[in-house]
């Protein structure tokens, strides 16, 4: 189903992304960020029910000076430590900032989140193209749309939905910003099972792709920081220092 998932990204349609049996064991509803519409936010909050996040390419994060949340709060006693994430003991979470576009009202409505998420997609596209842009001129924090910053070495470094989705976007040749939301089970209060997620995909005609499928197709380079050298920030400042620790997408929201 890898080809169908790549085509869904190109077409701006939903697909389902499962990580690994020995990791979260969760399936995310995923869509290219710059294609998101209010009806898509509605589907994610109604059908999926998890946290609606936007994963971005590491080079874009560097160029836009978007930090990891764990670095922002490093001086507090609240920051997660290596080993705290039960499904990935070697890594921190990939959460960056939670933002609203400055033209939103509350930031939480379907239309407001659509505005914020599609604007993230556009600014990531500008950053990847090396165009001059300013994140702070368009967005404010705190907000209602969490940004996930993919690991610099992508799937060689960690294997969360953040990295899997950015690897797929890079292979598809689209803007590497993907909005994802965990599929939850109303009956059990847990994540939707692998089989039930597959049934949902079949019912709605969505492609279903697993982490192992992505690893098999990925060439080990697409979507990594090395594949998009950072010469400077999109606002013209010097490149940010590399994160001092390997970071992993966290669900401790």
Between 249 and 139, residue with greater pLDDT = 139
The answer to whether residue 53 is catalytic is yes
Q: Which among 94, 109, 115 is positioned nearest to 34, based on CA atoms?
A: 115
The answer to whether residue 144 is catalytic is yes
The single residue of 110, 126, 144, 235 carrying the catalytic annotation is 144
Q: What are the pLDDT digits (tens) for 8-19?
A: 999 999 999 999
The model carries a pTM of 0.88
The answer to whether residue 18 is catalytic is no
Q: Where are the domains of the chain?
A: 2-227
Q: Does the structure show a pLDDT above 80 at 209?
A: yes
Query: Quick one: average pLDDT of 180-206?
Result: 97
The single residue of 40, 53, 91, 181 carrying the catalytic annotation is 53
Q: What are the pLDDT digits (tens) for 78-134?
A: 887 777 776 766 767 899 999 999 999 999 999 999 999 999 999 999 999 999 999
- The pLDDT, as a whole number, for residue 232 is 44
The single residue of 182, 200, 213, 247 carrying the catalytic annotation is 182
The answer to whether residue 182 is catalytic is yes
Percent of the chain with pLDDT over 70: 85
2-227, which class in CATH?
alpha beta
- The pLDDT, as a whole number, for residue 82 is 76
The single residue of 71, 87, 126, 194 carrying the catalytic annotation is 87
- The pLDDT, as a whole number, for residue 248 is 34
Between 214 and 82, residue with greater pLDDT = 214
């Amino acid at each position: 189903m890898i080809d169908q998932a790549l085509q869904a990204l190109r077409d701006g349609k939903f697909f389902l992304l499962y990580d690994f049996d020995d990791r979260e064991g969760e399936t995310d509803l995923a869509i290219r960020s710059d294609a998101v519409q209010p009806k898509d936010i509605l589907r994610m909050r109604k059908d999926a029910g998890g946290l609606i996040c936007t994963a971005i390419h590491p080079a874009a994060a560097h160029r836009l000076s978007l930090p990891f949340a764990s670095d922002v709060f490093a001086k507090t006693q609240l920051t997660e430590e290596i080993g705290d994430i039960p499904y990935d003991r070697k890594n921190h979470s990939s959460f960056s900032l939670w933002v609203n576009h400055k033209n939103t009202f509350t930031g939480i409505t379907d239309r407001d989140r659509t505005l914020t998420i599609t604007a993230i997609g556009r600014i990531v596209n500008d950053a990847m193209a090396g165009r001059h842009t300013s994140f702070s001129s368009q967005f404010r924090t705190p907000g209602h749309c969490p940004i996930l910053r993919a690991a610099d070495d992508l799937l060689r470094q960690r294997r969360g939905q953040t990295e899997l989705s950015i690897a797929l976007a890079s292979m598809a040749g689209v803007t590497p910003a993907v909005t994802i939301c965990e599929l939850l089970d109303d009956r059990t209060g847990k994540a939707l099972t692998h089989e039930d997620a597959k049934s949902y995909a079949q019912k709605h005609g969505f492609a279903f792709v697993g982490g192992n499928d992505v690893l098999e197709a990925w060439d080990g380079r697409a979507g990594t920081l090395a594949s998009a050298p950072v010469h400077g920030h999109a606002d013209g400042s010097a490149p940010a220092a590399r994160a001092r620790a390997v970071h992993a997408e966290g669900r401790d929201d």
